[in-house]
Amino acid sequence: MQALLTGIYGVYTGGGGATFRAACTGGLHLEEAPQYTAMPYATFTMIVARPDYYFSGHLEIATIQFDIYAATNTIRQDLYTKLTALFDNCKPTVTGYTSLIMKRVSQQSVREGEQSEVYRYTVEYEVTIDK
């Protein structure tokens, strides 16, 4: 499923991701950002992946979680809007697979940190790709 993660990052680095990249100045990182990364930034992680078999082949279904980290609620909301505009119903290029679709399935906003100084938005997508 490395090809899927590469495809998702390709959506971010491609021409359509320019608005999100410009607003997310700390970048998009796989699983975790490097220590001392300046906010705002985002991470993405594959939560689970499973095959789904049918008569003539199989699909791979994965849940991808994006986390947005920001210093204010306004920035968090702005990045959420830009992230969902980029990834809702997106079809990333996945080498060796026919990409079907990314479908947003949940989102949650929270505050964390000792003084609740970090505004985080978690957004999950279900991605179905055909082998």
Please give the tally of structural domains in the chain: 1
Single pTM value for the model: 0.92
The domain in which residue 63 lies consists of 2-130
What lies within 8 Å, CB to CB, of 106 at 6+ separation is 122, 123, 124
Alpha carbon distance 86, 123 (integer Å)? 12
**Per-residue model confidence as pLDDT tens digits over 90-106:** 999 999 888 788 999 99
Q: 3-class SS at 22?
A: helix
Tokens coding 101: 């679709």
Cα 124 vs. chain centroid, distance in angstroms?
7
Assign residue 7 the CATH number of its domain.
3.30.2000.30
What lies within 8 Å, CB to CB, of 8 at 6+ separation is 44, 64, 87, 92, 127
**Per-residue model confidence as pLDDT tens digits over 25-52:** 999 999 999 999 999 999 999 999 988 8
State mean pLDDT over 86-91: 94
Report the chain's mean pLDDT, rounded to a whole number. 93
Q: 3-class SS at 45?
A: strand
